[in-house]
């Protein structure tokens, strides 16, 4: 694990420690039964028309880019993305490093629940415990993120099972062939290649070009980070990506509708 990722994961474990309690699969299954489900995240990415799906991210800042769009309204940005044709949303809920909160997810999901059509939302955070899965389900998420390189094997197993019990999809994030093997061993159906190496903050779309062709049939392939133009989208699409996850470029764009159209046309 990279030094920065080590720092972030250590902080996340300290941050959630005061509210930790046991959360088992039975409680998550009961929650899933009692609460209405959001739209399918996997379904939004697995398009039948062959078009590249776009996951549009709400991200105010990041360790690599610094301030991106300080003070941005999560709901206003989500509406902008929906109107521009986004297939799904990724909402950062980490406050210390990314300027997001769980309330961002709650407010966006509540808005689309009251004013359809709904948008499937990924809770983008550093997941380490089933309690965070429960929080995601209660807040209206359709999916959670599992960062393979950041977790022990038993933690991945527990989080994947918790997501399934809660009725959530899981986006497994990888950066290397060995992480792909781990994700597949845990039954991953959606795998994202993070093109940004958190060890050195270098972005290389070649990672998607190298790793996505190794994905078995039936796994939804996502390319994440460093996608700034339609040309970038075409590169990863040619490698087999079915979806892209874009944050910084869309948050900074003067005209996110035009940029989203570029991505969707890839």
Query: The domain that contains 94 carries what CATH number?
Result: 3.20.20.70
Q: What is the mean predicted confidence (pLDDT) over 3-15?
A: 93
Tell me the C-alpha distance between 3 and 7, whole Å: 6
- Give the pLDDT of residue 198: 66
For Cα atoms 61, 234, 52, give the angle at the middle one, nearest 5 degrees.
80
Q: Is residue 163 within 8 Å of residue 193, measured between CB atoms?
A: no
d(CA 227, CA 244): 8
Pairwise CA distance, residues 132 & 152, whole Å: 17
Nearest-angstrom CA–CA distance, 248 and 251: 5
Tell me the pLDDT band of 24, cut-offs 50, 70 and 90: very high
Q: How far apart are CA 7 and CA 187, in angstroms?
A: 28
State how far the Cα of 2 lies from the Cα of 6, in Å rounded to an integer.
6
Q: Which two tokens stand for residue 45?
A: 């990415």
Query: Peptide bond preceding 117: is omega within 30 degrees of 0, i.e. cis?
Result: yes
Query: What's the mean per-residue pLDDT of the chain?
Result: 94
Residue-level pLDDT at 115: 87
pLDDT digits (tens, 9 = 90+) for 196-238: 876 667 789 999 999 999 999 999 999 999 999 999 999 999 9
- Chain centroid offset of residue 104 CA: 14
Q: How far apart are CA 55 and CA 238, in angstroms?
A: 18
Q: Residues with catalytic annotation?
A: 57, 59, 124, 173, 194, 224-225
Residues 6+ positions from 261 with CB-CB distance below 8 Å: 84, 85
pLDDT band at 176 (very low <50, low <70, confident <90, very high): very high
Q: Which of 110, 114, 125 is nearest to 11 (CA)?
A: 125
Helix axes 130-139, 25-34, angle to 10 degrees: 0
List, in sequence order, the alpha helices (H) in the chain: 3-16, 25-34, 41-45, 74-84, 102-114, 130-139, 153-166, 177-185, 206-211, 230-238, 248-252, 256-264
Domain boundaries, position 50: 3-264
Choice between 6 and 192, residue whose per-residue pLDDT is larger: 192
- The pLDDT tens digits for 35-86 are 999 999 999 999 989 899 999 999 999 888 889 888 899 999 999 999 999 9
Q: How many domains does the structure of the chain reveal?
A: 1
Task: With cut-offs at 50, 70 and 90, classify the pLDDT of residue 163.
Answer: very high
């Amino acid at each position: 694990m990279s030094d920065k990722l080590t720092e972030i994961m250590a902080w996340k474990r300290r941050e959630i420690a005061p509210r930790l309690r046991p959360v088992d699969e039975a409680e998550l299954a009961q929650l899933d039964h009692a609460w209405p489900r959001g739209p399918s995240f996997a379904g939004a990415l697995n398009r039948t028309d062959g078009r590249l799906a776009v996951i549009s991210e709400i991200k105010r800042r990041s360790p690599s880019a610094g301030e991106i769009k300080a003070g941005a309204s999560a709901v206003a940005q989500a509406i902008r993305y929906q109107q521009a044709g986004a297939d799904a949303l990724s909402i950062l809920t980490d406050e210390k490093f990314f300027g997001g909160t769980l309330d961002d997810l709650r407010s966006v999901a509540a808005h689309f629940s009251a004013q359809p059509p709904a948008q499937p939302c990924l809770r983008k955070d550093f997941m380490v415990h089933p309690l965070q899965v429960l929080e995601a389900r209660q807040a209206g998420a359709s999916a959670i993120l599992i960062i393979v390189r950041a977790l022990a094997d038993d933690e991945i197993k527990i989080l994947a099972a918790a997501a399934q019990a809660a009725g959530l999809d899981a986006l497994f994030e990888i950066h290397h062939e060995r992480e792909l093997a781990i994700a597949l061993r845990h039954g991953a159906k959606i795998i994202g290649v993070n093109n940004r190496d958190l060890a050195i903050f270098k972005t290389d779309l070649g990672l998607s070009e190298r790793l996505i062709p190794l994905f078995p049939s039936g796994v939804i392939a996502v390319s994440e980070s460093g996608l700034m133009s339609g040309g970038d989208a075409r590169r990863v699409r040619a490698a087999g990506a079915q979806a892209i996850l874009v944050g910084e470029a869309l948050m900074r764009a003067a005209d996110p509708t035009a940029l989203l159209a570029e991505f969707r046309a890839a």
